[in-house]
Amino acid sequence: MSITTLGQFIIEKQMDFPFAKGELSRLLRDIGIASKIISREVNKAGLTQILGDFGSVNVQGEDVKKLDIIGNETFIWALSKGGEVCAMASEENDDMIPLNGFYSKSGKYVVCIDPLDGSSNIDVNVSIGTIFSIYRRISEPGTEPDLKDVLQAGNQLVGAGYVVYGTSTMLVYSTGAGVNGFTLDPSIGEFCLSHPDIMTPKDGKVYSINEGNAAEFPEGVKTYLDWVKGTNKEENRPYTARYIGSMVADFHRNLLKGGVFIYPPTAKAPNGKLRLLFECIPMAFISEQAGGKATIGDGSRILDVIPEKLHQRVPAIMGSANMVDKLEDFMK
Ligand code: AHM
Ligand code: MG
């Protein structure tokens, strides 16, 4: 049998660190469990709507909850039970969430999460995702977690990843030694290694941006958008536009095929739309780990931005290294 499940893979990797106590491995396992539950819920989202509109009561008399709330509660549950995590920060919650599992206070880690990214796509059966990142806590284990535990720069990450609920469900993660992808085999209920050692192409011809906002983009981005549409065979132009409006899906396609994902500042949103902690840092980490780049448009790395508040936003350019560099040149 040549299958490697996520659980087996995590154990194999842990053997490289003989002094590790297995806490991070258990934490990754808990993330896998939560993702499987969310995948199950996402797959029956259409049916749930038939049974009762969101916000109403279903045939069992239970409240029908929005999927992003279910996703959030599932992660809070899974990580509270596990005991490796003392606190979470979530795109769904205004404040940090101290976990109250039996062992949580002694947990060494904190997790930032966007439980269901691209949620506007749920109702129309388009791919959505979960994004997560893991940091070692700064406060002393055993004490109350502190906001500074979750306000850490991406260059302090222990690991990060995402789950894409697409034609299949796939979990992609890195703990700083490359990127690996696992596809959920629903018949056995396991994530199985399907994309070992993902490396993103250095070049590509896909650009992903909400061009509807173009009138409000900085001049450099506008000129770049004219350039990508020009014809030049050697430079693979014109590029191809692909934008589905689900960051995880847009990013995942570009990671595998080559491309650049862009969410620039606009006149109305000078820091762009995407959240530093919940969306940009974890995806930037995966991008860099796969040989790509991720910047905020002035040449500096997303991973070097020091977060000042939980729901801080940053502009984002991420993907194939040469494509990110090219756009950065236009923005100088
Ligand atoms: P959400 O966290 O409210 O779902 O918003 C994030 C999503 C990303 O997945 C996607 O890249 C972006 O918003 C799309 O925004 P826009 O519709 O402005 O292009
Ligand atoms: Mg989001």
| Side chain identity at residue 4, one-letter code | T
**How far is C-alpha 198 from the geometric centre of its chain's CA atoms?**
16
pLDDT at 59 > cutoff 70: no
> What is the enclosing helix (H) or strand (E) of 72?
helix 67-82
**Residue ranges, CATH 3.30.540.10, the chain:** 6-195
pLDDT digits (tens, 9 = 90+) for 179-190: 999 999 999 999
Q: How far is the CA of 166 from the centre of ligand 2 (A)?
A: 16
**Quick one: pLDDT at residue 29?**
94
**Quick one: pLDDT at residue 102?**
85
DSSP states of 225-247: HHHHHS-BTTTTBSPEE---S-H
Band the pLDDT of 45: cuts 50, 70, 90: confident
206-331: CATH topology is D-Maltodextrin-Binding Protein; domain 2 (3.40.190)
Band the pLDDT of 16: cuts 50, 70, 90: confident
Band the pLDDT of 216: cuts 50, 70, 90: very high
Q: Are strands 85-90 and 109-117 parallel, antiparallel or unpaired?
A: parallel
pLDDT digits (tens, 9 = 90+) for 267-315: 999 999 999 999 999 999 999 999 999 999 999 999 999 999 999 999 9
Percent of the chain surpassing pLDDT 90: 81
**Residue ranges, CATH 3.40.190.80, the chain:** 206-331
Question: Averaged over 208-234, what is the pLDDT?
Answer: 97
pLDDT digits (tens, 9 = 90+) for 60-74: 566 656 888 899 999
Question: Averaged over 99-112, what is the pLDDT?
Answer: 92
How far is it, in rounded angstroms, from Cα 65 to Cα 115?
14
Q: How far is the CA of 129 from the centre of ligand 2 (A)?
A: 9
Mutate to test the pocket of ligand 1, among 42, 210, 211 (most ligand atoms within 8 A of CB): 210
**Domain 6-195 part of CATH 3.30.540.10:** yes
Q: How far is the CA of 245 from the centre of ligand 1 (A)?
A: 6
